[in-house]
Structure 1
């Protein structure tokens, strides 16, 4: 079940990239590079998770002091969290602003393109959150799947999705990027100045809550059956063993 989820998300991203790249040679127009850049940024959190596995596990195997392992894990976790809104940000590409007058690209192609692009971002966001919840709650608990269907899991998922939605808002409306964290004073000033403008706080709260709800529903649809299946399978094995 988990393998199907991961493979499905990866294939959706490949499909989106293929549509973006094929658009130029097939219809004799320019390559719309911002879409490819956003796809790369969308995949970045998964790359960081993979890097965390490659780096942290060997440290544990060779007996590295736990404080150092925790420090490396926290740093990679913060980098992952900063990059995570880039995945969900693809929902803001659900428009046809990239179309230019005189292009021979059929409208149906571009509608499908932006839909696949947005869905790849949604699926990648959901997979990122699930993998982190999986590592945070299952690893070290005797590989039991039960924590995935618990209140701590719901709380962690909710907090992460709220942060994702708020990050998307900052990216779209305040025009912030993940790397702007290198200049915290400028970042904070830009956010504060934006929120002081009329109606900005209400818009930020509304988008964050509704965006998190949207991602939460998608999470329920995608991950809910996987968690239920893992928990039921574990219960069945326990029944057979006893």
Structure 2
């Protein structure tokens, strides 16, 4: 029940963030800022992907039992599904954390009649929705990792599980930096050499490497400080 309530709260938070953006346009008669709406949608995709992937994983054993497939082939199929599913989710995961960068108020113009207090609430809600999406989707994936690697866990969460989550958080922060400052998108991985070339050129600029390191570190620490206690609470609720 606690998990369902948490998922519902995240959905409502995303809906409220989108509603505030739409009301901003309707009430104050300014241009609808569509990029922010798009970013909210992209931010929620990792949640959907993680849930769909877990549902598919639960259904694979049933599907395989209905066919005459050798155990070693079935095991290989399951691991292939896990690798592909995790990779797809990981490429989308930075879209959730990315909403932190909306706090730069890039949508606000000096001539806008929108009160500052409204934009503060709207942008903060958008940012919180992204953080919530990141927490929920990572929690789903970490729990799946925990079940697969240590299904008989009874003494708490093993270090390997935390290491997995920490790696994802750092990679997510790196993805946010690449998206904000180099304007990369998840689908740009189709051109890895071009991405690598642009990244090297960017980091060769004076001070950019230090800036990138500071960006990734501070964002990762923030997400980690929010995620760890929430996951502990959720894990405790599941075990209870």
The two structures have a TM-score, normalised by structure 2, of 0.88
Partner Cα distance (1:223, 1:143) in 2: 18
The Cα of 1:215 is off from its aligned counterpart by 0.4
Are positions 1:62 and 2:63 aligned together?
A: yes
Please, what is the CA RMSD of the aligned residues?
Answer: 1.9
The Cα of 1:130 is off from its aligned counterpart by 1.0
Other-structure match for 1:36: 37
In structure 2, relative to structure 1, the CA distance for the partners of 1:73 and 1:194 (3 Å cut) is same
Question: 1:25-174 maps to which residues of 2 (within 5 A)?
Answer: 25-63=26-64, 65-139=74-148, 141-142=150-151, 144=153, 146-147=155-156, 149-174=157-182
Question: 1:2-21 maps to which residues of 2 (within 5 A)?
Answer: 2-21=3-22
Partner Cα distance (2:208, 2:229) in 1: 31
The Cα of 1:143 is off from its aligned counterpart by 6.5
In structure 2, relative to structure 1, the CA distance for the partners of 1:146 and 1:15 (3 Å cut) is farther
Partner Cα distance (1:224, 1:209) in 2: 22
1:13-49 residue CA offsets vs partner (Å, 9 max, x unmatched):
1111111122111221221000011011101111212
List alignment gaps of at least 5 residues for structure 2. none
The two structures have a TM-score, normalised by structure 1, of 0.88
Tell whether the 8 Å contact from 1:32 to 1:98 is kept in structure 2 after alignment.
yes
Tell whether the 8 Å contact from 2:47 to 2:134 is kept in structure 1 after alignment.
no
Tell whether the 8 Å contact from 1:44 to 1:83 is kept in structure 2 after alignment.
yes
Are positions 1:184 and 2:185 aligned together?
A: no
Partner Cα distance (1:11, 1:223) in 2: 20
Other-structure match for 2:217: 209
Secondary structure in 2 aligned to 1:104? coil
The Cα of 1:140 is off from its aligned counterpart by 7.1
Other-structure match for 1:236: none
Partner Cα distance (1:95, 1:201) in 2: 21
In structure 2, relative to structure 1, the CA distance for the partners of 1:68 and 1:164 (3 Å cut) is same
Partner Cα distance (2:233, 2:3) in 1: 10
Partner Cα distance (2:108, 2:213) in 1: 31
Tell whether the 8 Å contact from 2:49 to 2:89 is kept in structure 1 after alignment.
yes
Q: Considering Cα pairs closer than 8 Å and 6+ residues apart, tell me whether 1 or 2 has the greater RCO.
A: 2
The Cα of 1:205 is off from its aligned counterpart by 1.4
